[in-house]
Amino acid sequence: MCEDINCPNKGKAFCRCRPLKEMAAEELLRHVLDSITEIHPFLEYHTLTEPEPRTLRILGKCRNCSEALCYCLNVEPLTGGKLLERLFDAILRVFYASAQDDEVDRSVLFKAYLQMFHEGDKQYVKTWSFRHIPPEFSGRTIYTIVRSGCDMDRGAFPEPTAEGSYLVKDAAIKELDRLVEEEKKVISPRFDHEERGKTWWEVNEDGRAAVHFTRLEIMESELNTDEG
């Protein structure tokens, strides 16, 4: 078991794969990264706004023996955004180093990162993350319903237009369903072929689909938070 009195793994059955106490620090870290699953970072700190000693603990289970694993890292006495960036980079490296198939669930990674902080600090961390962490990790994706179409016989080649944007995918899908039902009430009788997917809908003239169609589709994009 872990003998550190401050470690959440204290009292748990510890990894039995190798004599961990005999390993050098680099060898121990390599074993942890190669073997750890169910990664749960734990940060020991008092404040984010003042420099202080902090300990980042990487907690989890060994994928070989299913017992507890952990590794402790001392964090430089940084503050504010520099501290949050250093911590996120550390968690990012751990998740990617331990991924056996090079695939990382980015939303799980971000959730684990956010859970390290005290409740009173989480809004500050979210605000910082919104501006500085790539959206694929923190879920900052916007879902826009785009209308496109073409009627070559009438010389109509309108530019695609946005029917609405949503931060929640399910909300965009619900609105797409509503728009489809409304569209069906007014579509041209020349449209005699319909196709439908969960995030898109199209009607066209059979045999002339490329030159006479109407399409509604949910497009995903990064939410731009830059100011000025």
Whole-number Cα distances in Å, 29 to 108, 195, 203 = 22, 53, 57
53 has a pLDDT exceeding 50: yes
193/99 Cα distance (integer angstroms): 45
25 has a pLDDT exceeding 80: no
Provide the pLDDT for residue 228.
33
pLDDT band at 167 (very low <50, low <70, confident <90, very high): low
Provide the pLDDT for residue 227.
38
Lowest mean pLDDT, pick from 17-26, 61-70, 114-123, 153-162 = 17-26
Please compute the mean of the pLDDT values over residues 11-19 and round it to a whole number: 73
What ranges do the domains of the chain cover?
20-138, 141-219
Contact 25, 51 (CB under 8 A): no
Contact 180, 147 (CB under 8 A): no
Mean pLDDT of all residues belonging to the chain: 83
3/9 Cα distance (integer angstroms): 9
Please compute the mean of the pLDDT values over residues 162-178 and round it to a whole number: 86
Provide the pLDDT for residue 161.
92
155 has a pLDDT exceeding 70: yes
Provide the pLDDT for residue 51.
93
* 85-143: pLDDT as tens digits: 999 998 888 888 887 655 677 778 888 899 999 999 998 998 888 778 776 666 667 78
43 has a pLDDT exceeding 70: yes
Pick the more confident residue, 24 or 164: 164
Instruction: Tell me which DSSP letter residue 49 carries.
Output: S
CA-wise closest residue to 64 among 92, 32, 94? 32
